[in-house]
Amino acid sequence: MEQIKVTFPDGNSREYQKGISAAEIAKAISPRLLDDALAAKINGAVKELYTVLDSDASVKFLTFDDAEGKEVYWHSSSHLMAHAIQSLHPEARFGVGPAIDSGFYYDFDINKKLTEEDLAAIENKMLELAKADEMFKREELSKDAALNLFKSKEDPYKIEIISELDDTKEKISIYKEGEFTDLCTGPHLPSVGKIKFVKLLTVSGSYWRGDEKNKQLQRIYGITFPKKKMLDEHLAFLEEAKKRDHRKLGKQLDLFSVHEEAGAGLIYWHPKGARIRLEIEDYWRKAHLDNGYELLYSPHMGRSWLWETSGHLDFYKESMYSEMKVDDQDYFVKPMNCPFHIMIYKSKLHSYRDLPLRWAELGTVYRYEKSGVLHGLLRVRGFTQDDAHIFCTKDQIESEIIEVIRFARMVWSAFGFGELKYYLSTRPEKAVGENELWEKATVSLQNALRNEGLEYEVDEGGGAFYGPKIDIKIKDALNREWQMSTVQFDFNLPERFDMKYIGEDGKEHRPFMVHRALLGSLERFFGVLIEHYGGAFPLWLAPVQAAVIPVSQASLEYSKKIAEQLREHGLRIELDERNEKIGYKIRDWETNKVPYMLVIGEKEMQSGEVSVRQHKVGDTGKMSVESFAELLKQKVLNKD
RNA sequence: GCCAACUUAGCUCAGCUGGUAGAGCAGCUCAUUCGUAAUGAGCAGGCCAUCGGUUCAAGUCCGAUAGUUGGCUCCA
């Protein structure tokens, strides 16, 4: 019998009989591996465990610990859910059901409007079907055969998908699992029995293919796990995320509000929230001034000429608020700051010696967002961007981009976000600007990332029509990713506004323009920050840095002096004058997540010290007022 | 905008199949003067989101409007 050589990820290789399946190899290695394995990566492609090997190959067994293993697991779970829905509601027709980053969903068309209460029944059915432990059987078939199959099942969505496939290019395959057959590329688990723990999370409407012109289907999101512990941990994570919800904390800590009577999606910053914003802005301004930026202020509205010239009235109108008449002229509230910065640029003739210009503004813009997408601070209709525009020459773009990336990293680490992810988006099919410009700009973005030694993902064709870009995502304390920063070239606006500078050669040249936002918007950033810190802000941002708490009225006068003394050090201090027991007041400041509490009673009056209690830590002993002030000032300085 | 759920005191929530509203916290007053996560008593607080309908009777049922929440390609 012919032998083949199989190489494993650790570099070792072994000989097996030709025609052996991946599952048999796993079994030969250890029964435990066969048990844990969900699929196999054969020569770089994820395949079913029962895949047969006919020639030398590299094989990696995928378990639930691998991202690709999870994907197979959750994708198979979506089939299982569809199976359960079909057996409970035979009239159901199915859309698509992929695995997602955290679980899976399936879209389907059924007569009944499902509510969250119906999910339990589907969950139970899934567990029941999983017990039957049916295999996922793959079959390949021609386009006609596939069409006939789904015509017989009267499933218009699958028919639509198949009719767009080309079976001369790719095989059309279906998977059967017990009674349930689905169009699918796979790969899948060997059998549904691997799916042990199920939690269906939400049911919602979703348009067929995400297009609101199409029929709205129902979507169920769910997640599954092989071990109970994993499910429990996931549910605990969801619970923790709920606790940190910025909308909840915003109310609880009196940071901000939104008022339906006064308009949805518009944020009111309360004194404590505004205090935090002020600290953010102060840091932001100083950082920009220290890093070669100039700061600008620009109007909140502009005449239609501006928006016609910029092109916003052509390609951005649906996100802009309607015009208002001023002296019979149409004015628009700004959705972006860029045209204003360009007007400032154009207010005089520029020499190449002026460049680069780095102009930043905390610019408040208003954009129409559909009512259904508004979400606390994260998706709003009015917000302040930490916007900047860089105007430079061709020779400067690379160093400018390097500088922006370096600056972004510095700002993010100041706010406690060390782990960033970078995404480079290149030229889409429809684009303005010459190829050479795109090439040059894209290379400069690439070089900037490489220069900093950063890993990045490339989204081919994912750039805006006016230029390539780098997006930066941050990871918060719960490991969730947020897209925050963006650095975008713009080949459109300099052209439209006919921007120029006089070069060394005495001739007119077009400057390069880069849009750049780091925090994105202060509202959204604040929301992310609240969740990242769970409302317990670091000292330098905390609206109240320390509360001075007299044990009884007897030490009130002395406490007042201490509070005053600390305020003179520039610290944000509150004095708790309430006639309550010490335990009550401590509890109150603890729940308000104030970093420090100073307990002042008879003993402290005698010794002239303060008793320091730290949030979440507890009593940390006595020290002098001055050394406490110095400690705090040092921590503020270090953004500790 | 679309689908679903939701909207009751400042906040968090009860209020069963229709019979005109309840708790805790917060607030105010009084007593207490207290040593590291809730002292006690009392008072006050609501056009039950808004508008309309069904009914002898609506917080409760129906409809509309506004808002909130979860979603609306992470592509078989």
Task: Please report the pLDDT score of residue A275 as a whole number.
Answer: 95
A128/A84 Cα distance (integer angstroms): 9
Distance of C1' in B1 from CA in A367, Å = 16
A111 CB inside 7 Å of strand B: no
Give the nearest nucleotide to A175, CA to C1': B76
A602 CB inside 7 Å of strand B: yes
A483 CB inside 7 Å of strand B: no
**Residue nearest B7, CA–C1′ metric:** A260
Q: Residue A220: which pLDDT band, with cuts at 50, 70 and 90?
A: very high
Structure token digits, residue A391: 């105007």
A243 CB inside 7 Å of strand B: no
Task: Please report the pLDDT score of residue A90 as a whole number.
Answer: 87
Higher per-residue confidence, A298 vs A431: A298
Active site residue A515: yes
For the segment 46-85 of chain A, residues whose CB is within 7 A of strand B: none
Q: Within its chain, how far is the Cα of A375 from the centroid?
A: 14
Q: Which of A186, A162, A86, A159 is nearest to A129 (CA)?
A: A86
Distance of C1' in B76 from CA in A162, Å = 8
CA distances in angstroms from A142 to A161, A165, A307, A416, A480, listed in the order given: 14, 10, 53, 55, 42
- Map A303-351 to HEC letters: EHHHHHHHCHHHHCHHHCCCCEEECCEEEEECCCCHHHHHHHHCCCCCE
Active site residue A89: no
Active site residue A367: yes
A549/A596 Cα distance (integer angstroms): 11
Q: Which of A41, A194, A389, A572 is catalytic?
A: A389
Q: Which of A41, A277, A367, A427 is catalytic?
A: A367
For the segment 547-566 of chain A, residues whose CB is within 7 A of strand B: 551-554
DSSP A170: S
A41-55, A113-127, A273-287, A399-413: range with lowest mean pLDDT = A113-127
* Residue A110 predicted with pLDDT over 90: no
A161 CB inside 7 Å of strand B: yes
* Contact call for residues A448 and A405 (beta carbons, < 8 A): yes
Distance of C1' in B25 from CA in A522, Å = 32
Q: Which of A205, A214, A179 is nearest to A110 (CA)?
A: A205
CA distances in angstroms from A227 to A72, A194, A195, A223, listed in the order given: 16, 10, 9, 12
* Contact call for residues A576 and A589 (beta carbons, < 8 A): yes
A291 CB inside 7 Å of strand B: no
* Residue A114 predicted with pLDDT over 90: no
Q: What mean pLDDT is predicted for residues A398-422?
A: 93
Q: Which of A125, A194, A272, A385 is catalytic?
A: A385
Say if strands A294-295 and A357-366 run parallel, antiparallel, or are unpaired.
Answer: parallel
A403/A215 Cα distance (integer angstroms): 48
Quick check: helix, strand or coil at residue A39? strand
Give the nearest nucleotide to A552, CA to C1': B33
Rounded to a whole number of angstroms, the CA Rg of chain A reads 30
* Residue A640 predicted with pLDDT over 90: no
B chain positions with any atom within 7 Å of a protein CB: 1-5, 11-12, 31-39, 66-76
Q: Within its chain, how far is the Cα of A406 from the centroid?
A: 21
Domains and CATH numbers, chain A: 3-62 (3.10.20.30), 71-241 (3.30.980.10), 256-299+334-533 (3.30.930.10), 546-637 (3.40.50.800)
Q: What mean pLDDT is predicted for residues A98-127?
A: 87
Give the nearest nucleotide to A219, CA to C1': B71
* Residue A116 predicted with pLDDT over 80: no
A624/A297 Cα distance (integer angstroms): 45
Active site residue A469: yes
A100 CB inside 7 Å of strand B: yes
Q: Which of A63, A53, A64 is nearest to A14 (CA)?
A: A53
Quick check: helix, strand or coil at residue A499? coil
CA distances in angstroms from A85 to A23, A95, A124, A154, A226, listed in the order given: 30, 13, 11, 16, 21
For chain A, what percentages of helix, strand and coil (3-state, to nearest 5) are there?
Answer: 40, 30, 30
Q: In residues, how long is chain A?
A: 640
Distance of C1' in B76 from CA in A158, Å = 8
Task: Please report the pLDDT score of residue A210 as a whole number.
Answer: 84
* Residue A232 predicted with pLDDT over 80: yes
A467: left (phi over 0), alpha (psi -120 to 50) or beta: left
Q: Which of A297, A519, A545, A269 is nearest to A415 (CA)?
A: A519
Average pLDDT, chain A: 92
**Residue nearest B12, CA–C1′ metric:** A252
* Residue A264 predicted with pLDDT over 90: no
A304/A315 Cα distance (integer angstroms): 14
* Contact call for residues A488 and A469 (beta carbons, < 8 A): yes
A216 CB inside 7 Å of strand B: yes
Q: Which of A107, A155, A182, A387 is catalytic?
A: A387
A82/A111 Cα distance (integer angstroms): 15
A32/A15 Cα distance (integer angstroms): 21
Residues 6+ apart with CB under 8 A from A243: A534
Quick check: helix, strand or coil at residue A144? helix
A607 CB inside 7 Å of strand B: no
Distance of C1' in B73 from CA in A353, Å = 48
The residue assigned the tokens 């600007």 is: A433
A163 CB inside 7 Å of strand B: no
A534/A541 Cα distance (integer angstroms): 13
For A526-555, write each residue's pLDDT tens digit.
999 999 999 999 999 999 999 999 999 999
Distance of C1' in B71 from CA in A215, Å = 15
For A132-165, write each residue's pLDDT tens digit.
999 999 998 888 899 999 998 888 899 999 988 8
Distance of C1' in B33 from CA in A595, Å = 27
Q: Residue A12: which pLDDT band, with cuts at 50, 70 and 90?
A: confident
A384/A373 Cα distance (integer angstroms): 18
* Contact call for residues A380 and A265 (beta carbons, < 8 A): yes
Distance of C1' in B4 from CA in A55, Å = 53
A515/A490 Cα distance (integer angstroms): 7
* Contact call for residues A531 and A594 (beta carbons, < 8 A): no
Active site residue A259: no
Structure token digits, residue A328: 């019979």
For A446-495, write each residue's pLDDT tens digit.
999 999 899 999 988 888 889 999 999 999 988 888 999 999 999 999 99
Q: Residue A351: which pLDDT band, with cuts at 50, 70 and 90?
A: very high
Task: Please report the pLDDT score of residue A119 as a whole number.
Answer: 85
Question: What ipTM score was computed for the predicted complex, to two decimals?
Answer: 0.91
Q: Residue A616: which pLDDT band, with cuts at 50, 70 and 90?
A: very high
Quick check: helix, strand or coil at residue A534? coil
A603/A606 Cα distance (integer angstroms): 5
Q: Give alpha helix (H) positions in A89-225.
A: 116-132, 143-152, 156-163
A113 CB inside 7 Å of strand B: yes
The proportion of chain A whose per-residue pLDDT surpasses 70, expressed as a percent, equals: 100
Q: Which of A244, A341, A469, A572 is catalytic?
A: A469
